[in-house]
């Protein structure tokens, strides 16, 4: 029995020693790093306002009533004597009224200016359509024809006596005269016999059967021509042109 125990103890010892030898023969494992602990984010804590209890104010002491001031004695003024009414002055007489100035008369209108001429030559037109006649018309300020007006027709060179024509002979306010040279024409007198003459009437000058160059140019007969060429046209149109004259009374 003892022998079996000894043999078993020896066998167990050998087994333990063999296991230690095996353990020493294997390589030692490399130690692993211990991971650092991760920090878990802590949510922010929202502070909660804490309502503090306020102190209840202590009641104030009720002030004691003050003494009502006694009004100071005021001396009553002695009434003064009522003044005796004085005599009321008699009213003064009102001053006599002043004389009202008479209204001044409005100023008289300025006199109507007198025209420098009673009859003005308002038209002088050359008509180169044949003939050599002076066509004369006399009108009033409104354009109405005037009959009975005597026209003086004269030669500026005293070779022939003056001649006269009366409006109305060739129609209302109209008269005619056949040119034979250069004539001047004006209003000599009206139907009432009042004389005007060269002083009170404008004069139609250079009314000529051989029309001057300025009248030819005004009539469009010298378009494109110089003065010398236009002056030569006078002889070309001699005896072929008439004049239209209009005299107008200025009132």
Helix (H) or strand (E) holding 229: helix 227-236
Q: Comparing 115 with 2, which gets the higher pLDDT?
A: 115
CB–CB of 234/206 below 8 Å?
A: no
Question: pTM score, two decimals?
Answer: 0.56
Q: Comparing 2 with 240, which gets the higher pLDDT?
A: 240
pLDDT one-digit tens code per residue, 39-79: 444 444 444 444 455 555 565 666 666 666 666 666 666 66
Mean pLDDT, residues 134-162 taken together: 93
| Strand-pair category, 150-154 with 182-189 | antiparallel
- At 182, list the tokens: 């250069």
Q: Is the pLDDT of residue 120 over 50?
A: yes
CA proximity to 147, closest of 165, 170, 172: 172
Most confidently predicted of 3-12, 47-56, 161-170: 161-170
CA proximity to 175, closest of 130, 183, 206, 235: 183
pLDDT one-digit tens code per residue, 212-225: 999 999 999 999 99
- How much of the chain exceeds pLDDT 70, in percent? 67
Alpha carbon dihedral 80, 81, 85, 86, in 10-degree steps, equals -90
Mean pLDDT of the chain: 80
pLDDT one-digit tens code per residue, 172-224: 999 999 998 899 999 999 999 999 999 999 999 999 999 999 999 999 999 99
Q: Is the pLDDT of residue 28 over 60?
A: no
Within a 13 Å sphere around the CA of 26, how many CA atoms are in the beta-carbon half? 6
Tokens 């003044």 found at = 83
Q: Is the pLDDT of residue 22 over 50?
A: no
CA proximity to 151, closest of 179, 133, 132, 174: 174
Q: Which pLDDT value is given to residue 110?
A: 83
Q: Which pLDDT value is given to residue 56?
A: 57
What is 119-209+241-249's CATH number, 3.60.21.10, 3.40.50.300, 3.40.50.1970, 2.60.40.10?
2.60.40.10
Q: Which pLDDT value is given to residue 50?
A: 45
Using DSSP's 3-state secondary structure scheme, residue 154 falls into: strand
Q: Is the pLDDT of residue 229 over 50?
A: yes
Domain boundaries, the chain: 119-209+241-249
CB–CB of 250/118 below 8 Å?
A: yes
Residue 183 buriedness (CB in 10 A; 0-12 / 13-18 / 19+): buried
CA proximity to 134, closest of 187, 206, 207: 207
């Amino acid at each position: 029995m003892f022998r079996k125990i000894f043999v078993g103890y020896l066998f167990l010892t050998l087994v333990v020693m063999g296991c230690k030898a095996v353990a020493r023969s294997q390589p030692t494992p490399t130690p692993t790093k211990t991971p650092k602990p991760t920090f878990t984010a802590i949510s922010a804590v929202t502070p909660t306002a804490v309502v503090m209890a306020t102190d209840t104010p202590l009641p104030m002491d009720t002030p004691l009533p003050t003494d009502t001031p006694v009004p100071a004695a005021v001396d009553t003024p002695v009434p003064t004597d009522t003044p005796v009414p004085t005599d009321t002055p008699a009213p003064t007489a009102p001053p006599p009224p002043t004389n009202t100035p008479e209204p001044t008369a409005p100023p008289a209108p300025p006199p109507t200016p007198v025209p420098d001429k009673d009859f003005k030559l308002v038209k002088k037109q050359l008509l180169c359509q044949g003939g050599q006649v002076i066509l004369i018309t006399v009108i009033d300020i409104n354009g109405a024809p005037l009959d009975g007006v005597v026209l003086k027709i004269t030669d500026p060179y005293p070779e022939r006596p003056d001649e006269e024509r009366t409006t109305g002979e060739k129609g209302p306010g109209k008269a005619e005269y056949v040119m034979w040279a250069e004539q001047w024409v004006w209003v000599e007198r009206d139907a009432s016999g009042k004389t005007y003459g060269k002083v009170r009437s404008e004069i139609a000058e250079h009314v000529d059967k051989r029309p001057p160059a300025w009248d030819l140019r005004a009539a469009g007969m010298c378009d494109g021509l110089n003065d010398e060429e236009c002056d030569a046209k006078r002889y070309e149109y001699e005896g072929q042109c008439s004049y239209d004259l209009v005299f107008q009374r200025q009132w």
